[in-house]
Structure 1
Amino acid sequence: MARLSGTAVFDPAGDQIGRVRDVVVGLRIGRRPTVHGMVVEVQPRRRVFLPITRIRRIEAGSVVFTGRLNMRRFEQRATETLVIGEMLDLTVRCEGQPMTVYDVAMEDVKPSTWEITKVALHRRRRRETRIVSWEEVSGFDTLQKDQGAAGLIAAFESLRAADMASALHELPSKRRVEIARALNDVRLADVLEELPPDDQIGILGTLEPERAADVLEEMGPDDAADLLHDLPEEQASRLLALMEPGEAAPVRRLLTYPESSAGGVMTSEPVILPPTSTVAEALAHIRQQDLTPAVAAQVYVTRPPTETPTGTYLGVSHFQRLLREPPSTMLGGVLDPSIDPIRPDFTLREVTYYLANYNLVAAPVVDELGRLVGAVTVDDVLDHMLPEDWRERADDREEWRERADDRDE
C-alpha cells in the first residue's frame, strides 16, 4: 500500500483527475482492518475521498474508478486510520519481538471488499525483514511517543516539495514533527517553503536552534526572510545570529524592506553575470536544476561585483534571445533595452502591473545607486497577493453543486 502513494487516478473516461496520497482503513479488535477507500489529491491541493467500492481496478502506475467523485474535502473520522500517514514506522510486536512496520498489503477478499492481510516488518538495528499475516502482529492500537519516519519518507520520496508539504499539512501534528525532524536540511528547507506560515513556525520551533539556523540557510533568502518576519523578534534575531554570516547577510537586507514591497518579496539570488560572459556561459547557468523556471527565464547583466548588491546594472537577457544567438556572443551585446528596472519601494500592486504590462515572469530590482539588489518573480507576487491561508483552502467552485456524500451511502 505504501507503493500507492503518488499513483495516478483515472476516471471512467480515461482522464487523470489526481493522485493517491493515502489509504483509509478501519481498525477492528480481533479482526483484519477493512479498507474504506483512498485519499486522492486533485487540483488545487484539494484532498477528497474515493470509496473502495468505486475502484474498478488497481494496476502498476494507475488506479481507475467508476461513477462520480465527491469533491468534498476529505475529513478523517475518529474511527479511521491513514495507512501511510499513521501506520508506517509503528513499532509493533511479532512473536514477542519488537519490529517496525515499513509496509502493509491489502487484498480483495470478496467483491468490493478489501482487507489488510499482511504486514512487512524489519528490525531497526539488524534490518532483518519479514512479511507476516496481520494476525501475527500486535500493537497497532498503541499510542507511541516516538514513531519514527523512515517508512513514510520513503513513501513520499518521489513527491515534489509542494506535494510533500501538502501531505505533511494533513498529518497530525505529532507525525508532522516526526517527519520534519527526520528529513535532511535541504529537503526540509524545500518543504518548509511550501507550507503555510503556522506550520512553518510550528516545525521550526521544535528544532534545536542550531538545526533551525541550518535549515534557514538552505532556504531561499526571500523565503527565509518571510519566515523570520513571522517569528517573534527575539527568536528571529537569535536564529540570524546562528546562521553563517555569508548566508545571513542577504536575509538581513531583505528584512529591511516592507513585506508588501518589491524589496520585501524579491529574491536576492537571481542569475547575474558580467557583460563579458558569453551566451554559452549564460545558458549553462540557467540550466542549474535548483533554479525555478521564473528565476531561470532571464540573466541579469551588471558590472562586477555580480553578487547583490552588484555593480552598475546594465540590463537583462531573456533565455529565448540567448537560444537564438551564437554561443560565443557576449552578453553585453544581447541586452533587452526596452525593460526598465523597478525600485525596491514599489508596491505589490505596482509590481503586478509592471509584470502584466511587459508580459514578464520576473523583473530586476535596482536601488538608488543603480545597483541590482534582486529580482521579483511572478510566483513571489502571487504568494503575497493570495490570501494567507491559500495553501489550505479548498476549491470552492464545486461546493454549490448538489452531490451525495459517497461515504454515508
Structure 2
Amino acid sequence: MVASAARIFVSHLAGVPVFDPNGDQVGRVRDLVAMLRVGRRPPRLLGLVVEMLNRRRIFLPMTRITGIESGQVITTGVLNVRRFEQRPTERLVLGELLDRRVRLVDSGEEATVLDVSVLRLPARRDWEIDKVFVRRGRGGALRRRGETLTVEWSAVTGFSLDEEDQGAESLLATFERMRPADLANALHHLTPKRRAEVAVALDDDRLADVLEELPEDDQVEILGKLKEERAADVLEAMDPDDAADLLSELPEDDKERLLALMRPDDAADVRRLLAYEERTAGGLMTTEPIVLRPDATVADALARVRSQDLSPALAAQVYVCRPPDETPTGKYLGTVHFQRLLRDPPFTLVGAVVDSDLPPLAPGTPLRAVTSYLAAYNMVAAPVVDESGSLLGAVTVDDVLDHLLPEDWRETEFEAAHPPEPAHTDGTGAAGAGGGEERHGRRR
C-alpha cells in the first residue's frame, strides 16, 4: 500500500531520488506519465519516468510504488529496465502539461498552468491528476493581472489541443538545479517542439553549457530554431572549441553568417580552430587556458584558478608565457601545476617554479598521439605551441574523451559502460511486470 495518500504537486517530485526496499538508490524522477481521458474526467497517472544511475530512462508503473514521502519514492524493488518509450495516448506531465495555456470553463478566461497535483484514489491503486494550479491572464477591473488559483481539473479546458507556442517557465523551474549534462539529457527526451521552447527560454550562458553536452543533431536542431542574433550570442558564450565543432556541422553559408554576427574577437578564435583538422591537437584545443606572465605570483595564479567558470581540467595548471597574454601568446616558457602552486609561498614568482621540461604539443599532433601524451605524463591538459614558440591553446582530457568514445555515446547515454540489466529485483529474478506494464525499448 502506498504510504502517502496526500495530494502531491508534481513540481515537488522532479528530481527526487527513487529507492528500492533496501534503501539503495536506483535513480531519480524525471517526469510523470499520464493518460488523458474523454470528457472532463481527470487523467489517470500511469507511472514515473525514472533516470537510472547509468542515465537510462525507464518506466516505473504506479503499481510498483510503495511510498511517496519526505522527498523520496520507494519501489517494490521490481524494475523493468527497458528504455522508456512514450506512447501516442500518453502525456508527459512536466514536459507537456506545465506552461500550457488553458481556459477556465466558467469565465472563459485564459490561464497558464504552473503546476498540477496528483492524488491516490481511496481504496484503489489508481492515481489521478485532480487539481491544476494556474495563473490567470488579463482579468477584469476587480482582478489584478497574474492572479493565481488552484482549480479542479474539470474547471479548465485545452489540455488535449496541440499548442503552437507553449511557454517554459514552470518546466525550467524543475530543471533549475540540474547540472548541464543532466539538463541536456532531459532536453534530449523532450519533443522537438518542447525542446525548442525550453532552449528559447534558457539564458545564453545556461543554453551554451547545455548545448556543449548534447548530441550534434540536437545542437544543430536547436541552433537552427533560434534567431540568428541569439544563435551568435550563444555561440559566443560557448567554449571556442565547442562552438567550432558545432559550426563545422552547418552549411558553409550558415556558418559564415553566424561568424559575421559574433564579436570579432570570439569569431577570430573560432575561425582559428576551424582551420585545423578535427582530430588533431589544434582542432581539439581550447583557446582560453590560464596564461600568466613570468613576473606573476603564486597568489595571482591561485586567484585565476579559483574561477568557477573554469573546468577542473583547465584549472589544473597555468601556462607561463611572454606577452601578449592572449593566445597566440608570446614565447611559451612552461607550465605550473596546481599542486606546485599549493606548495609554494603566495609571493613566489611563477617564473621561478615553472616546469619547462615537459614538451608541448604541435597543433598538427594527431588524436592518438595526444592521447598517448596525456597518459604517459599523467596529465589532464596539455599546451599546444606553434613553430614560433607561441602558445595557441590547451587540449583537455574531456575533449579527448569526446573524440575517443563512439560518435553516438551521448545518445546511448553511456550504455556501453553500463550494459542493461535488472539492477534491483525482489529476489525472484523478475526484471519487470508483464501485461499492461510492459514497455518497449526506444531506439534513438
Of 371, 376, 380, the match for 1:352: 371
Are the structure 2 counterparts of residues 347 and 148 from structure 1 closer, same or farther at C-alpha, using a change threshold of 3 Å? same
Q: Distance in 1 between matches of 2:116 and 2:399?
A: 41
The residue identity in structure 1 corresponding to 2:21 is P
Indicate the residue corresponding to 1:41 in structure 2.
Answer: 51
1:182-331 correspondence runs (5 A): 182-331=201-350
Q: Distance in 1 between matches of 2:182 and 2:218?
A: 15
Q: Where in structure 1 do 4 or more consecutive aligned residues deviate above 3 Å?
A: 396-406
SS of the residue 1:214 aligns to: helix
Q: 1:9 offset after TM fit, Å?
A: 1.8
Q: Which has the higher contact order (CA 8 A, sep 6+)?
A: 2
Q: Distance in 1 between matches of 2:42 and 2:285?
A: 54
Q: Distance in 2 between matches of 1:39 and 1:400?
A: 17
Deviates more, 1:393-402 or 1:296-305: 393-402
Would you say the 8 A contact 1:279–1:330 is kept in 2?
yes
Q: Distance in 1 between matches of 2:275 and 2:266?
A: 16
Indicate the residue corresponding to 1:93 in structure 2.
Answer: 103
Q: Distance in 1 between matches of 2:361 and 2:42?
A: 63
Are the structure 2 counterparts of residues 219 and 124 from structure 1 closer, same or farther at C-alpha, using a change threshold of 3 Å? farther
The residue identity in structure 2 corresponding to 1:89 is D
Indicate the residue corresponding to 2:71 in structure 1.
Answer: 61
1:274-326 deviations in Å (ceiling 9; x for gaps): 11111111111111111111111111111111110011111111111111111
Would you say the 8 A contact 2:81–2:421 is kept in 1?
no
Indicate the residue corresponding to 2:438 in structure 1.
Answer: 408
Q: Distance in 1 between matches of 2:84 and 2:73?
A: 18
SS of the residue 1:180 aligns to: helix
Deviates more, 1:14-23 or 1:259-268: 14-23
Deviates more, 1:69-78 or 1:257-266: 69-78
SS of the residue 1:230 aligns to: coil
Q: 1:43 offset after TM fit, Å?
A: 3.3
1:151-194 deviations in Å (ceiling 9; x for gaps): 11111111111111111111111111111112121111111111
The residue identity in structure 2 corresponding to 1:309 is P
1:190-216 deviations in Å (ceiling 9; x for gaps): 111111111111111111211111111
SS of the residue 2:400 aligns to: helix
User: Is 2:153 aligned against 1:153?
Assistant: no
Q: Distance in 1 between matches of 2:378 and 2:351?
A: 23
1:362-377 correspondence runs (5 A): 362-377=381-396
Q: Aligned-pair RMSD on alpha carbons?
A: 1.6
The residue identity in structure 1 corresponding to 2:370 is V
SS of the residue 1:280 aligns to: helix
Name whichever structure is richer in helix by fraction.
1
Indicate the residue corresponding to 1:70 in structure 2.
Answer: 80
Indicate the residue corresponding to 1:6 in structure 2.
Answer: 15
The residue identity in structure 1 corresponding to 2:114 is Y
Would you say the 8 A contact 2:79–2:432 is kept in 1?
no
Q: Distance in 2 between matches of 1:205 and 1:54?
A: 41
Indicate the residue corresponding to 1:112 in structure 2.
Answer: 125
Would you say the 8 A contact 1:22–1:40 is kept in 2?
yes
Task: Count how many residue pairs are aligned between Structure 1 and Structure 2.
Answer: 409
Alignment TM-score, normalising by the size of structure 1:
0.96
Consecutive unaligned residues in structure 2, runs of 5 or more: 1-9, 139-144, 423-429, 440-444
1:230-266 deviations in Å (ceiling 9; x for gaps): 1111110111011110111111100110001111011
Indicate the residue corresponding to 2:141 in structure 1.
Answer: none
Q: Distance in 2 between matches of 1:246 and 1:204?
A: 21
The residue identity in structure 1 corresponding to 2:85 is E
